[in-house]
């Protein structure tokens, strides 16, 4: 697995797209600072550019380099990171425009999956971490399912695949943001809030 990780990081640094496992489902990764790489993720997924993808970071320090995390979320982040909690915050510097929502926010989490964290750490920046499925279809818990969806839709393939075998079915991450000092749940997922 170590050689696969090293290769995957090289691919991401070179602007490629990697299919990888997370604690929820398989995801599509790209360097979130690279506009061309982010657009490739949209092509592979068949996703509309206005639907910005969530990001994975290696740790809270990396998150705070790129995203302003509201102090109201401190206790949730302390409790559920690493894990399936995605927080929305104002974007700082250096991310590709296509990962930033029209209101200047971005969604980010520290994954509890060691491969997902290692990819972000290896790149040294947030990675795109949208679920690996053709837009409009269900999330993929195996490389095979993703490949079947992608071929049927005639979408391009990722540049590299980390196949960790079939993953157990889990709900997607829970997404939260702060509005007027209150925590708002945008999507109730595997973390109950």
151-191 pLDDT per residue, tens: 999 999 999 999 999 999 999 999 999 999 999 999 999 99
Whole-angstrom distance, CA of residue 119 vs CA of residue 123? 6
pLDDT digits (tens, 9 = 90+) for 121-143: 999 999 999 999 999 999 999 99
Check residue 114 and give its pLDDT.
96
**What pLDDT is attached to residue 48?**
82
Flag whether pLDDT at 52 surpasses 80.
Answer: yes
Give residue 49's pLDDT. Answer: 75
Is the pLDDT reported for residue 1 higher than 90? no
Lowest-confidence pick of 18-27, 47-56, 160-169, 170-179:
47-56
pLDDT of residue 33: 97
Residue 94 lies inside a defined structural domain of this protein = yes
Residue 193 forms part of a structural domain: no
For 56-68, b/e burial (b = at least 16 CB within 10 A) is: bbbebebbeebbe
CATH code for the domain in which residue 179 is found: 3.90.870.10
The model's confidence at residue 93, banded by pLDDT at 50, 70 and 90, is confident
Residue with tokens 């029209």, as numbered in its chain = 102
Q: DSSP code of 31? A: B
Residues 6+ apart with CB under 8 A from 39: 49, 98
When divided into structural domains, the chain yields a total of 1
Q: What is d(CA 26, CA 44) in angstroms, rounded to the nearest whole number? A: 14
Confidence bin at 50 (pLDDT 50/70/90): confident
Asked whether residue 124 is domain-assigned, the answer is: yes
- Domain-located, residue 17: yes
Looking at residue 191, what is its pLDDT? 94
Tokens of 117: 């964290």
Position 105 in a domain: yes
Which domain covers residue 90, as residue numbers? 2-187
Residue 23 lies in a domain: yes
Confidence category of residue 55, pLDDT binned at 50, 70, 90: very high
């Amino acid at each position: 697995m170590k050689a696969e990780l090293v290769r995957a990081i090289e691919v991401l640094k070179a602007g490629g797209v990697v299919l990888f496992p997370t604690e929820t489902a398989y995801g599509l990764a790209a360097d979130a600072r690279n506009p061309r790489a982010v657009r490739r993720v949209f092509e592979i997924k068949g996703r509309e550019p206005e639907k910005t993808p969530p990001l994975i970071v290696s740790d809270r320090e990396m998150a705070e380099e790129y995203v302003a995390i509201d102090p109201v979320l401190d206790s949730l982040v302390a409790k559920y990171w690493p894990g399936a909690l995605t927080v929305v915050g104002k974007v700082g510097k250096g991310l590709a425009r296509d990962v930033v929502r029209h209101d200047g926010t971005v969604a980010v989490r520290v994954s509890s999956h060691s491969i997902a964290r290692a990819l972000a750490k290896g790149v040294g920046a947030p990675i795109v971490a949208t679920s690996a499925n053709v837009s409009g279809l269900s999330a993929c818990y195996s490389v095979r399912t993703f490949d079947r969806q992608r071929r049927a839709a005639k979408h391009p393939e990722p540049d590299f695949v980390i196949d960790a075998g079939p993953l157990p079915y889990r709900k997607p991450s829970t997404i939260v943001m702060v509005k007027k000092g209150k925590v708002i749940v945008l999507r109730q997922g595997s973390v109950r809030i």
